[in-house]
Amino acid sequence: MFLRNAWYVAAWDNEIDAGLVARTILSEPVVLYRRPQGGPVALEDRCCHRSLPLSMGKQVGDNLQCGYHGLVYDPSGQCIAVPGQSNVPTGGKVRAYPVIERWKWIWIWMGDPALADDTLIPNWWWMDHPEWKVVRGPVLHIQGNYQLVTDNLLDLSHLTFVHADTLGNDAIVRFPVRTDRIEGGVRMSRLIPDSPPPPLFQKYCKFAGHVDRWQIVEATLPSYCDVDVGCTDAGTGAFEGRRIGGVPFHALSVATPETERTCFQFYAHPRRFALDDEEIDLSYKRDFLRVFKEDVQVMEAQQRSFDRDPNPPSININVDAPSLAVRRRLAEAIQTEHAGARQLRLHA
Amino acid sequence: MFLRNAWYVAAWDNEIDAGLVARTILSEPVVLYRRPQGGPVALEDRCCHRSLPLSMGKQVGDNLQCGYHGLVYDPSGQCIAVPGQSNVPTGGKVRAYPVIERWKWIWIWMGDPALADDTLIPNWWWMDHPEWKVVRGPVLHIQGNYQLVTDNLLDLSHLTFVHADTLGNDAIVRFPVRTDRIEGGVRMSRLIPDSPPPPLFQKYCKFAGHVDRWQIVEATLPSYCDVDVGCTDAGTGAFEGRRIGGVPFHALSVATPETERTCFQFYAHPRRFALDDEEIDLSYKRDFLRVFKEDVQVMEAQQRSFDRDPNPPSININVDAPSLAVRRRLAEAIQTEHAGARQLRLHA
Amino acid sequence: MFLRNAWYVAAWDNEIDAGLVARTILSEPVVLYRRPQGGPVALEDRCCHRSLPLSMGKQVGDNLQCGYHGLVYDPSGQCIAVPGQSNVPTGGKVRAYPVIERWKWIWIWMGDPALADDTLIPNWWWMDHPEWKVVRGPVLHIQGNYQLVTDNLLDLSHLTFVHADTLGNDAIVRFPVRTDRIEGGVRMSRLIPDSPPPPLFQKYCKFAGHVDRWQIVEATLPSYCDVDVGCTDAGTGAFEGRRIGGVPFHALSVATPETERTCFQFYAHPRRFALDDEEIDLSYKRDFLRVFKEDVQVMEAQQRSFDRDPNPPSININVDAPSLAVRRRLAEAIQTEHAGARQLRLHA
């Protein structure tokens, strides 16, 4: 089940600079490209003549030409030329999806185009702000349902067990999580005072002693996560709003469903320390990729378990409160969307 | 849906020279071999004892011996020996299929053996004629429905887009196709007067200027295509029946269904020019294989689209007339065959 | 269909010495490990929190800790600790399976633990007897139903056709098999007097002339086979109970179902000749692996045939008597078990 009236990240901006991008999103085949003047375009990736993916064709100016019989589509999805004949048959068109380029990503709207509202894209201003340095992650293709990604990021107690060498340590689980309802989602907060810094943070910033560490994750529908994490010297006021020095950064993540059991994860790391340190850039690229791949292994193993038994007897624990809350909100939103669609059909 | 009462190519003659050939045809497992005296044999590829494929056994004279317990089958499919016992149990037999060796191919009849009529094999005399040189193609295994192959060959306007480097050029699509009903199928004709020769033809025969080019494709049931194509110097009468010099040849193709969504394509190129030119032989082998593989990529991508959505909203265009006509005739033939089978069952 | 109230081999003893072993048995995910004090443990391989396989976690003393959020399970399957909270939620447990280490193997009981009775493990004393030398086979993963393994071992006439280079020769099929009902199964016997020794036996023991050869296979439920085979000089009394010299050995095999269409085969070769000859050890490892792999090829090809057509028209032959008898007994036992389970449910 997917929320259709929502923005998902379809691609990095520089992916469509390099040519046509074919990607299945919410089980629909999509082809993405960039117009010569810059704007992104997303069309159904299937010629309406003989079903060849349009991504096997080529871009001609603003338009896309099918690689089989040369039919040409404009950015609205309208077929505007059929080689060898003067007219275009009625019905010669494919679906076009609203797309917006923002925060270095191409966002796509998979639902009713009339409802596409760009204010629903999260305000992740760090991605374009000069005081923040952004390190891009690769597109992760995960053999797992997209909601497992939100579960994973909302519950950072797993750092202790999954990422013991990099981000985890025993201090984390000793402190409880707090769950707050926010607009469109849920905030999880955990404050870890006066503890040893985790290995990766210690590498970035040689702390002399203990640190105050924060983990604040805002998960909003359908599958956005803003992970605000970091630490500063213990007792310098991080928990009272004074984050002085140390390691402050965001991990921004969008899980875009490919199918019911696979997804793409797009992630980036804007940071506000050591902006010009290319070694830290490299560490973010390499070490966090390793961390994310540890999570991918976990999520793919979960998916295989759920494939075998989708609803096994199971328990919840305290740290699940935020992820259960956001799953509930998503389920409600999907139900509301379906009810609305039914109502629309009834009145049609 | 398959037409069962029809001949399909099961193998090249030289494939069965080299040993047992296991091939699934119309979703049935078949093993093919050649008797010492020469005639081909086709049996169900499944021992009637414990279901081991007979293709894992060995040929013993005219017969085939299972590789598990040594049961021996004669060319009629009758089990004639069971090691360790003197009698053969009732029901000890497998299906035998009518086979005929013709035009360098082994043709198999998958329907009612009583209806097997060798005059239904197409008269492709060029394959054995001394004035024609034949270049054999490899057996192409295609992850696509067999009807996509006929579609492809009946509509050569795709040359412009799929094979631009070899056979296509812009001239083709400017000329209309003509559709004629012929015995057992459909003829598509397109005449392209006074145009530049396509790259590959220019390579074979250095034309001084423009050419008259013809594309005449006869598609007959179930899945035969005789593609008669070529060109001669413009204005020398090719369209009035005088093909003098130039590049005249046939591409002969049979698409044999493996399953509903996969097939084998057998093809050969008989030509009536440069018979002794081995470089042209090599070019046919190499360059047309490249062309056919470009088509395979297209057909397999179509199949993946149809796997996702078998009946999407779609349009037809002018050049589809021949392929729509032959698809209609095939659908009618299959329907007639099924109706006949039902009637037979009613009267049984 | 599986017999659940039965012991299956889950692993070699030395597999769990090396760490956690994840294995699907009777379609259920199982994780196996060894306690520090030695005893084996088998648990459901799925954390009851978020379904991560426990085999991705780590052993902590007697217990197993999940690799995602650190839940700890004891050998009874009870969750005894949840990091970050003091209580364990109700329902925090996974299934534990009875396991017994015997004959170098870890035996698992997949049915009702109350019925687990270790006297049902076959008495394969040769595996631990000082007068016998045991060569272990690797764990074979077979893409075929487990009953095909018993079929294969109960009918050694296949040696002539499948293993002609090693164990087969033409003499075998000339002698009939005898079928006897034994406790829990069936005995197949074939005595082959005064015949040439098969290639592999001749290699082990340079016989001067003909041999008396015996093949006695006891197949017991659910899928155990004790293959007692060998030969001694002809006329020295092997068939009258005097096996003097020659090549006497057992091949012991358990086929453990992984799923309905895949299984594991565990096998070992205890022998009572040339105990210290390491070259013969190597030959057993290498040559019998080759023999078993020839059988795997056959069984996997059978399975592919049955996948296509599970109930094709088929015949039985004389040598099938033992395997048909054991299949019948197994079907009855499974039916009885199901009837019992139904009755239990009715009275509950």
Q: Which of B35, B105, B38 is nearest to B74 (CA)?
A: B35
Q: What percent of chain A has pLDDT over 90?
A: 82
Residues A180, A186: Cα–Cα separation, whole Å: 6
Reply yes or no on whether the pLDDT at A200 is more than 90: no
Helices marked H in chain B — which ranges? 13-17, 147-154, 159-162, 199-204, 278-283, 289-308, 321-347
Model pLDDT for residues B224-266, shown as the tens digit of each residue: 999 999 999 999 999 998 888 888 899 999 999 999 999 999 9
Q: List the Cα angle B301/B304/B308 in 5-degree steps.
A: 145
ipTM of the complex: 0.93
Looking at chain C, the number of H-run helices and the number of E-run strands are 7, 19
Reply yes or no on whether the pLDDT at B205 is more than 90: no
Q: Quick one: closest CA in C to B56, which residue?
A: C298
8-state DSSP, C175: S
Residues C219, C211: Cα–Cα separation, whole Å: 25
pLDDT the model gives residue C294: 94
Cβ–Cβ < 8 Å for B188, B322: yes
Residues B34, B40: Cα–Cα separation, whole Å: 4
Model pLDDT for residues A78-120, shown as the tens digit of each residue: 999 999 899 999 999 999 999 999 999 999 999 999 999 999 9
Reply yes or no on whether the pLDDT at C214 is more than 90: yes
Model pLDDT for residues B147-184, shown as the tens digit of each residue: 999 999 998 888 888 887 777 777 778 888 899 999 99
CA distance B70 to chain C (A): 6
Q: What Cα–Cα distance (Å) separates residue B121 from each residue in B101, B117, C85?
A: 10, 8, 79
Which site among B156, B158, B317, B320 would you substitute to test the A interface, given the most A Cβ atoms closer than 10 Å to its Cβ?
B317
Q: What Cα–Cα distance (Å) separates residue C190 from each residue in A38, C169, C249, C291, C324?
A: 82, 14, 15, 20, 17
Residues C17, B153: Cα–Cα separation, whole Å: 62
Higher pLDDT, C199 or C43: C43
For residue C58, what is the enclosing H or E element? Answer: strand C58-60
What single string gives the DSSP state of each residue in C5-31? SSEEEEEEHHHHHTS-EEEEETTEEEE
Distance between start and end Cα atoms, chain B: 24
Residues 6 or more apart whose Cβ sits within 8 Å of residue A346: none
Reply yes or no on whether the pLDDT at C344 is more than 80: no
Average pLDDT over chain B, rounded to an integer: 94
Which chain A residues have a beta carbon less than 8 Å from that of C49? 314-317
Q: Which of C61, C73, C19, C52 is nearest to A294 (CA)?
A: C52
The answer to whether the Cβ–Cβ distance between C84 and A157 falls below 8 Å is: yes
Q: How many residues does chain A have?
A: 348
Chains that touch C (3 or more CB pairs under 8 A): A, B
Which chain B residues have a beta carbon less than 8 Å from that of C297? 56
pLDDT the model gives residue B246: 87
Q: What Cα–Cα distance (Å) separates residue B283 from each residue in A280, B203, B297?
A: 55, 10, 21
At B348, the pLDDT band (50, 70, 90 cuts) reads: low
B85 alpha carbon, distance to own chain's centre: 44
Which chain C residues have a beta carbon less than 8 Å from that of B83? 157, 160-161, 173
The answer to whether the Cβ–Cβ distance between C317 and B90 falls below 8 Å is: no
Reply yes or no on whether the pLDDT at C261 is more than 90: yes
Average pLDDT over chain A, rounded to an integer: 94
Q: Quick one: closest CA in B to C151, which residue?
A: B50
The answer to whether the Cβ–Cβ distance between C301 and B49 falls below 8 Å is: no
pLDDT the model gives residue B170: 75
- CB nearest to B91's CB, from C155, C176, C315: C315
pLDDT the model gives residue A348: 62
Q: Is 0.90 surpassed by the pTM of this model?
A: yes
The answer to whether the Cβ–Cβ distance between C67 and A309 falls below 8 Å is: no
Size of interface A-C (CB pairs under 8 A): 77
Average pLDDT over chain C, rounded to an integer: 94
The answer to whether the Cβ–Cβ distance between C48 and A314 falls below 8 Å is: yes
The answer to whether the Cβ–Cβ distance between B51 and C306 falls below 8 Å is: yes
Span of B286-295, C24-33, C134-143 with lowest mean pLDDT: B286-295
CA distance B3 to chain C (A): 21
The answer to whether the Cβ–Cβ distance between C46 and A309 falls below 8 Å is: yes
Reply yes or no on whether the pLDDT at A299 is more than 80: yes
The answer to whether the Cβ–Cβ distance between C301 and B53 falls below 8 Å is: yes
Higher pLDDT, B340 or C330: C330
Size of interface A-B (CB pairs under 8 A): 77
Which chain B residues have a beta carbon less than 8 Å from that of A85? 317-318
Q: What percent of chain C has pLDDT over 70?
A: 99
Binding-site residues on chain B for chain A (CB distance < 8 A): 151, 155, 157-158, 160-162, 173-174, 176, 297-298, 301-302, 304-306, 308-309, 312-319
Model pLDDT for residues A180-192, shown as the tens digit of each residue: 999 999 999 999 9
pLDDT the model gives residue C176: 87
Model pLDDT for residues C273-313, shown as the tens digit of each residue: 899 999 999 998 999 999 999 999 999 999 999 999 999 99
Which chain C residues have a beta carbon less than 8 Å from that of A302? 50-52
Looking at chain B, the number of H-run helices and the number of E-run strands are 7, 19
Residues B236, C274: Cα–Cα separation, whole Å: 89
Residues 6 or more apart whose Cβ sits within 8 Å of residue C41: C32, C33, C34, C35, C62, C64, C75, C96, C99
pLDDT the model gives residue C348: 62
pLDDT the model gives residue B41: 98
Mean pLDDT of A220-234: 95
**How many other CB atoms are found less than 10 A from the CB of residue A342?**
10
Which chain A residues have a beta carbon less than 8 Å from that of C68? 158, 161-162, 298
pLDDT the model gives residue C333: 97
pLDDT the model gives residue C116: 97
Q: List the Cα angle B2/B6/B10 in 5-degree steps.
A: 90
Residues C271, C282: Cα–Cα separation, whole Å: 13
8-state DSSP, A269: E
Which chain A residues have a beta carbon less than 8 Å from that of B319? 69, 84
Q: Which of B67, B63, B75 is nearest to B50 (CA)?
A: B67
At B335, the pLDDT band (50, 70, 90 cuts) reads: very high
Radius of gyration of chain C (CA): 22
Mean pLDDT of A144-148: 98
CA distance B15 to chain C (A): 22
Looking at chain A, the number of H-run helices and the number of E-run strands are 7, 19
Q: Specify which residues A192 forms β-bridges with.
A: A213
pLDDT the model gives residue B59: 98
**How many other CB atoms are found less than 10 A from the CB of residue B197?**
24
The answer to whether the Cβ–Cβ distance between A84 and B302 falls below 8 Å is: no
Span of A151-165, B312-326, C10-24 with lowest mean pLDDT: A151-165
pLDDT the model gives residue C239: 92
Which chain A residues have a beta carbon less than 8 Å from that of C64? none
Reply yes or no on whether the pLDDT at B52 is more than 90: yes
